[in-house]
Structure formats: structure tokens, C-alpha cells
Amino acid sequence: MRPSSEKTDHYGWSGSGQAPLAAFKRITININVSERLEELDLLPITGLDRTLEEKIVINGDRVDLSSALYLEEFRFQGSHLFLAEKLLNLPRAFLTLLSITCSKISVNDTLFTLQACPYLTEATFATVCAEVDCELGNRFDLKLVGKLPSPLLKLTITTSVDVTHFMRSLDWKYVPIITINVLDDGVAAQNWERCFACVPMGTQVTMNGNFSNENMAEIRGDIFCVSFGR
């Protein structure tokens, strides 16, 4: 039985025939990434920040996830702009798995996402890009004081940019399994020593990309448990 429209909606009912969000432990959202912003009912970004008029429109047309109190896993595939401006209040008390794919997200926004979800044990981000290539640019001005505590056990990143800053910003609580898919040959050819300098000893790392034999030898000198793929 759904609560009437006159009563406070404590259980997350939002319209006829919809299940209460509080009943869900896992949510998966797939957005057709080939659709234009207009087809997704999104306002294109024309400046560094939203105007007051744009914010009013956006805030009036968001999906509030705050009633999904027991959400443990959230998988999103599609535009990062849609994720940031259509979905509101992603619960984090029990959230341990987060996957954001088919998006273009900056290094800083990726770190901000981890900071906002402090109990994650598994995270996937694809694709980490240069700010100029991201739909949201660099939305969050994150100023970390010290390192970001991370209970991650499994991290997968697909990237076209250097993720050294991201990796060195994490204070690993456990020995993780890390997969890095490198899309840019120039990034693959970089010196990876600083990137892995703060990774716990015994970390299992998989590097996928166009790595030269010299690159692979250098990385093996930095990480004992590393494997390579294309």
C-alpha cells in the first residue's frame, strides 16, 4: 500500500506504480551515451558555472535518491553531466561499490567522488580525462589536507591522462587489487614510479595499454605483482 499524497513520503514512493527506493540494495542506471544532451533533457554548459536561472531549472528536475537508505551498490553508465545534475543525494552510509562508466570525469572530480563515498571497497571509473575534454570540466575544487583515507580493496580506472596525483592522494588502509586501463600511448610511456610510490607492498596491479618492453621493465622494478595486457 502506497502512502497517500497528503502524507509524508518516508519510504521513497515517487509516483504511481513505483517501488520504494528504501527496498533497494543495488541500483543500476544505463543512459544511452549516443544521445544528445537535449534528448536527455540536459542543459548544455555554456560557461564555467551554472547561471542562477539554469540552477533553478536543474534543481526542479532532479531525482532524489536520499530515501535509498540501504543502498550498497550503485552502477551508472552514461553522461557524467546526467549523473551530476539529474541525480541528487546518493546515500553513502552503506555504499560499498560504485561504478561510473561511459563518462568523462576529471582527476579532481574522481577524487571528490571517493571523498564523498568514504566506505567504498570497490570502485570503477571510466574514463578519467583532461578537464577540457570533460562535460563538467573540473566541477569540484577539492583541496585535500593530507591524504584521503581509502578502504578500497579493488580499484579499476580507465584513463587518457596521468593519474599520479589521484594515486598519491590515497591513504590505503588495505592491500588492494588495481587495474589501470591506459588509452593514451604518451601516458603509457611515462615514468610510473611516482604513481605507485604510495601503493602498499603486495598490491596486485594490472596495466592494460600500449606499453613498450622498456616501460614494462621499469614498472616491474617499482611493483613486484604486476601484469600487462593490451
Q: Annotate the chain with three-state secondary structure.
A: CCCCCCCCCCCCCCCCCCCCHHHCCEEEEECCCCCCCCCCCCCCCCCCCCCHHHHHHHHCCCEECCCCCCCCEEEEECCHHHHHHHEECCCCCCCCEEEEECCCECHHHHHHHHHHCCCCCEEEEEEECCHHHCCCCCCCCCCCCCCEEECCCEEEEEECCCCHHHHHCEEECCCCEEEEEECCHHHHCCCCCCCCCCCCCCCEEEEECCCCHHHHHHHHHHCCCEEEEC
- The predicted pLDDT at position 229 comes to 93
- The predicted pLDDT at position 63 comes to 79
Average pLDDT, whole number, for the chain? 82
- The predicted pLDDT at position 6 comes to 38
Confidence bin at 171 (pLDDT 50/70/90)? very high
Share of the chain above pLDDT 90, in %: 53
Would residue 201 count as lying in a domain? no
Confidence bin at 14 (pLDDT 50/70/90)? very low
| pLDDT of 136 over the 90 cut | no
How far is residue 216 from each of residues 2, 97, 158, 186, 197, measured CA to CA in Å? 59, 30, 18, 14, 16
Q: Worst-scoring range by mean pLDDT, 21-35, 53-67, 215-229?
A: 53-67
**162-176 average pLDDT score:** 96
Would residue 123 count as lying in a domain? yes
Q: How many domains does the chain fold into?
A: 1
**87-108 average pLDDT score:** 90
The parent domain of residue 150 ranges over 21-45+59-184
- Are the CB atoms for 116 and 88 separated by under 8 Å? no
Would residue 137 count as lying in a domain? yes
Would residue 111 count as lying in a domain? yes
Would residue 196 count as lying in a domain? no
143-163 confidence digits (pLDDT tens):
666 799 999 999 999 999 999
**32-44 average pLDDT score:** 55
| pLDDT of 36 over the 60 cut | no
**21-40 average pLDDT score:** 73
Would residue 2 count as lying in a domain? no
Would residue 198 count as lying in a domain? no
Share of the chain above pLDDT 70, in %: 76
Would residue 215 count as lying in a domain? no
Confidence bin at 40 (pLDDT 50/70/90)? low
| pLDDT of 20 over the 90 cut | no
- Are the CB atoms for 169 and 144 separated by under 8 Å? yes
- The predicted pLDDT at position 81 comes to 79
- 38 or 123: which leads in pLDDT: 123
